[in-house]
Structure 1
Amino acid sequence: MVQIVCSNVEKHSVKMMAELNRMKQEKDHCDFIIQVRNDVYYTHKNVLSAGSDYFRAMLKHDTKESREGKVIFEDVDFECVKNCVDFIYSGKFKIMDEKMNDLLHVAIMLQLEDLKHTISDILEESITVENYFSIRNVSDMYGLDAVLSRCRVFFHDNIMEISNQPEFGNIAKIDILNFVKSESSELSEEETMTILLKWVGKNQNNEQHLQESFEAIKFEKISPAFLEHILESNLIISNDFGLYKLLTGHLVKALKRPDKTKEEIGNDELIILFDDNTDCMRSLNPITEKVGNFHDEKFKHLKPFGTISLDSYIYVLCQNKSVYRLNFHIKNSKWEKLKDMIYDHGQYPRSVSLSGSIFVIGGSDPKSTSDVETFSSYANQWLQLKNKPTAIRYASLVALNDSIYCIGGLQDGVQVSSFSRFTPSSSEWVELEPMRYSVSGSGAVAFDQKILMIGGWRGFYKRDKVECYDVTSAQWTSLSSMHACHQYVSAHYIDDWIFVVTNVEASNVIEKYDISSDKWTVVKPEVDQHFIIYGSTCVKM
């Protein structure tokens, strides 16, 4: 009886493959050459046949390659061929990020199924906004179903960022319609419409599908201000009578919606407070005056910063020109890094929103500047505008009608009472009747053709004074003073109230102004003793 004794089979196999790999590297007993243009690689027929169905078929029969001991490849990358052969010998291969598509092509050509599946797994886990289109295209070309499935999920979860990519216009109509009709999307209807307009803007052939796509939009959830902005600024809509008529009709309906009750306003509009200690955001309900947690995502980037909200986003503008935003309508959203500002506006960049864009004017400590720039949230792009005639820092900014008002501040280290108006559509700066006092670091808010200047610094002293400018009469008047002095103020207009929040102060005192009665009351939010308000903005939920 013959008995077969097994040693460590796995160890023996590994040793044999290592020895064959060494023989390949040293060209020992090699009997087959792989040539790619001027590069050659020495190998063994039996190893190639054992590891690749492609080579097995080639070398099993009396082919030219089998007789000559040589195969010539033309339209492939030599490093990728070498990598695939090394995989046959050792089961290992080099990850070549910049050549992963070429490597997959060679692996499929040589019928290396294990390598194909391994590359597929790597692609599935490495999808980013930047490489989404290249991975999706190669997966579609080679039928990588698992990767395509992952691409569909990634597209759904990251479509806002993907829409900024140049290839976005090549997305198929069916994919866009599936996104618009999806009940699981966490994007607002305004964001969905913005994405559709980007899709058409990057490929005019998609315009024929826009009206069909708009039919799936829930226009009752879109604000009149957004519709007005689209009708005024988007050339795709203004040049298409049918689309213009459609959106105008929805705008008329939106303007006829009943006004919200005060309870609804409290649930709809919130003041967002940044906590300097924990980097968290808290929400202050203007009706109940209660403070609650707002979003799980902390802002852990560079301080100091300025903050502003626009549509569904909170924007943070940092002193190193960097800009971040967070979609507060999406529960698990993360802070997104946007394009840097063109200029350095110092600490706490002063900003204001107007007609769907953000404007930054002048600077703050230690930067005094006349630079003016604007950010288009739809194009993710900063543009230089006409400079302010004089350099300024710690000026107060407020938007009203189609203009931006720049008030007070420091010029050459001296507080000023200057009052100027900038109209972006004409790039025109106009000097107006100055304030009666020179101030800096004040809060500014506009309502009913009036502008309020609140608190700030006069000389070395904090102020409790409130000045009102009537745009119609071009006159300054004084209103009731606040209960306390406030500087570095953020002011927020909500219905018939104005809320004043002092930033970078441990007092956490907020004051509330009743416009109808010209009276101030103190709001003391219930927060823990370590909470310090670093900045604030107002959002619409």
Structure 2
Amino acid sequence: MAANTCCSCSSADDLHRNQFWTNLAQLRADESFCDVNISINGFNFSAHKVVLSAATEYFNAMFLSGLAEQNSKEIVLQGFDPETFLVLLDFMYTGELKLTESNAANVLVACDMLNLNYAVKRCLKYLSRNINCSNCITLWSLAEKFNFNNLFFELEKFINFNLIEVSLNENLYEIGYPFLMSLLCSEDIQIDGEHQLLAIVIKWVSRNHQSRIQYLPDLIANVRLPMISEFVLSDELSKINDDEFKAVLTSVVETNRDYSKSDFKGLTADSSSDLCKNFLKLCDYDHWHHRQHVPRKSSRKRILVIGGFSASRRPDDFLGSLGSDDDESFGCVEMYDTYGGDWEVMAPLNQPRSNHCAVRCRNLVYVLGGESELLISDSIEVYNPVENKWQFLMQSMTTPRTSFGAAVIDDTIFAIGGWVGTELGTSIECFETRTPGAQWRLIDELPSKRYAFGAVAHEGMIYVVGGVDEHSMDLATVEAYHPASKSWITLPDMIEKRNQVAVLVCGNYLYAIGGSNEHAGALSSIEKFCLEKNEWNPCTPMKFTRAAPASAVWDGKIFVFGGKLTSAHSTNNITCDSAEVYYPETDEWCMIDRVPTSRGEAAAVVV
């Protein structure tokens, strides 16, 4: 009985408290018993001194300190805007803080000024949950200025993790020198290569050339130039239109790239103090020199090779192995370290897949569709590289797909054509990863039915290359799709027909690598399409023939893993475990460590 009485009292207390808040707010709305008027930029707010004093020490001190405001009925507040103050006044009277993405930062600063500590905590919590690439730089500066340390570290972590996306926001280039230097010194920034940091430095200095050029030597010293190939470095410098700035930057870059211990041979030691200083200088150089030649701890320098199937057998094994289960799809995932050259087994897929697609979006890896045991899948798995964990995405594609294409533009994933269910399809669907509760939706169609083609996105366009048509004919066709206008452009055909071809963009070129056709079988040849000249040219072929290889671009180099040694038209498959890397600037291929698991029809993504 006592417990029931206590429960009833609690409910009555809640009712009384809620009614009290409601009545208090109504008194202010009716201006009943109001004894002070707050004026902000010509806007007036009626209130009760006792309520304001109870809500915050700021007003309590103002009305009890013996100052002029104690007996005044008119208070003029500086440093606030009317909209923000109204949000705070409503909070003081109702306990409800109405935060939005547009007002949260201003409300936080105003709460801090008024010593509304509870409201400050709620603002910080709200902002921490709503950090994005558009607001992170502004909030980062605000958090540093007002010593919101927890928010500052949350923002720093977010910016490090999403720097390339953040660099597309113009706010990044308005930050001060100390902020930029802290980014360049960080081991935690996730980048594909140091050339991306060089591009950020160039753009930042270019925004205010006269005043920022003085910082250029220190900024460039913290870009790891030895990790940038001559080809990529030259490409970055060629983009600069200001000849004077280009000359200064080129000089600074050359100085840093050629800097060596020989510069210290002239050091003298006239005193023990000089000897100590020179020793410390040499130690600093050793640390700097070592760091310049090592990738950052969190930089994207690893490549995941995901799924596929394995059928490693000799040609004379064909008859004896027909109908075996050796070439079933699997979920094996292995990771190649581009710096160390080592392989590591990672968490496997939850569902075996081959002929699937994999893309990276917002620092997560999405694996789409594919097939296993003659069943085509519409499911999607998402991989978190930090946690080394796969989980199914709740939103499946609108239809199962295999031997299709996928690409990412502006955080939207596109799935294109291929075998759609049991039929060869033309449909295109998309999934907007940034939209809460988004579903896959059909948006357009391919000009014609095809499968086993290559697809890649570049500068807002999706390129669809080669494949096999509905009449089982190999294709050399190349088309570009513009999702924003839902329009197609026909480009020049490849030199050679290719299906199960690896397609990717490196520099200003579109590459078509390997694949197969009915005439030649599996191919070792590659060709590149110049996006400026609109023409195809052959490149040095790979050392091995490869149909349906896994491929990825990292730091201006092309990596190719495994693949099939037989044509897509063949009923007998042989996969390989060899891997190669292509250097575009020298047009050369080099062998690298073998893939631990022989595989074809796999996918590769840089993480």
Match of 2:223 among 214, 217, 223: 217
1:274 pairs with one of 303, 306, 309? 306
CA distance, structure 2, for counterparts of residue 181 and residue 55 of structure 1: 44
Please list the CA deviations of residues 346-390 of structure 1 after superposition, one character each: whole Å capped at 9, or x if unmatched. Answer: 963389xxxxxxxx9x97566779xxxxxxxxxxxxxxxxxxx99
Task: Identify the match of residue 455 of structure 1 among 509, 512, 516.
Answer: 516
Cα offset for 1:135? 2.0
Which amino acid counterpart does residue 563 of structure 2 have in structure 1? V
The alignment of Structure 1 onto Structure 2 pairs a total of residues equal to 432
1:275 offset after TM fit, Å?
2.0
Structure 1 segment 380-399 matched on structure 2, within 5 A: 394=452
> Which amino acid letter does the alignment assign opposite residue 473 of structure 2?
Q
CA 1:318–1:141 in 2, change beyond 3 Å: closer, same or farther?
same
Cα shift at 1:164 = 2.2
Q: How does 1:87-106 map to 2 (within 5 A)?
A: 87-89=91-93, 91-106=95-110
1:114-149 per-position Cα deviation (integer Å, ceiling 9, x unaligned): 433543454455433332123234435545454345
Gaps (5+ residues) in structure 2? 1-8, 260-300, 309-328, 370-380, 392-401, 408-413, 428-446, 457-462, 481-488, 505-510, 529-536, 581-593
Inter-CA distance 246–75: structure 2 relative to 1 (3 Å threshold): closer
Which residue in the other structure is 2:202 paired with?
A: 197
Aligned partner of 1:511 in structure 2 is 576
The secondary structure found in structure 2 opposite 1:98 is coil
Instruction: Specify whether residues 103 and 489 from structure 1 end up closer, same or farther in structure 2 by C-alpha distance, changes over 3 A only.
Output: closer
Bigger shift: 506-515 or 199-208? 506-515
Partners of 2:350 and 2:469 in 1: CA distance? 32
* Residue identity opposite 2:603 in structure 1: S
The AA in structure 2 aligned to 1:193 is L
1:415 corresponds to which of 462, 466, 473: 473
Q: 1:36 to 1:161 in 2, by over 3 A?
A: same
Q: SS of the residue aligned with 2:602?
A: strand
1:231·1:237 contact (CA, 8 Å) conserved in 2?
A: no
Partner Cα separation in structure 2 for residue 154 and residue 279 of structure 1? 31
* Residue in structure 2 matched with residue 349 of structure 1 by the alignment: 405
Hey, what's the Cα distance between the residues in 2 that align with 1:84 and 1:415?
Answer: 69
Report the CA distance shift for 1:428/1:198 in structure 2 as closer, same or farther (over 3 A): farther
Deviation at 1:66, TM superposition (A): 4.3
Question: For the residues of structure 1 that align with 2:492 and 2:502, how far apart are their CA atoms?
Answer: 21
> Which residue number in structure 1 is paired with residue 52 of structure 2?
48
Q: Give 2:226's aligned amino acid.
A: E
Q: 242, 248, 262: which is aligned to 2:248? A: 242
| Contact 2:38-2:47 within 8 A present in 1 as well | no
TM-score normalised to the size of structure 2? 0.50
Matching of residue 128 in structure 1 with residue 191 in structure 2: no
Q: 1:293 aligns with which of 328, 345, 350?
A: 345
* 1:227 aligns with one of 228, 233, 236: 233
- Check conservation: 2:36, 2:49, Cα contact below 8 A: no
1:500 aligns with 2:558: no
Distance 1:514 1:237 in 2: 42
Q: CA RMSD in A?
A: 6.5
Structure 1 stretches lacking a partner, 5+ long: 1-8, 254-268, 336-345, 352-359, 370-388, 399-404, 516-522
Q: Give the secondary structure class of the aligned counterpart of 1:273.
A: strand
Percentage identity across paired residues of the two chains: 14
Task: Please tell me the residue identity of whatever aligns with 1:84.
Answer: L
Query: Is the deviation greater in 216-225 or in 54-63?
Result: 54-63
Deviations 1:419-457 (A, max 9, x none): 9999xxxx997678x66xx66445699xxxx99855345
Pair 1:332–1:129, CA change in 2 (3 A) = farther
Distance change (3 Å), C-alpha of 1:40 and 1:123: same
Partners in 2 of 1:470 and 1:525 — Cα distance? 28
Could you tell me which of 25, 30, 35 is aligned with 2:33? Answer: 30
* Structure 1 length-normalised TM: 0.55
Q: Secondary structure at the match of 2:222?
A: coil
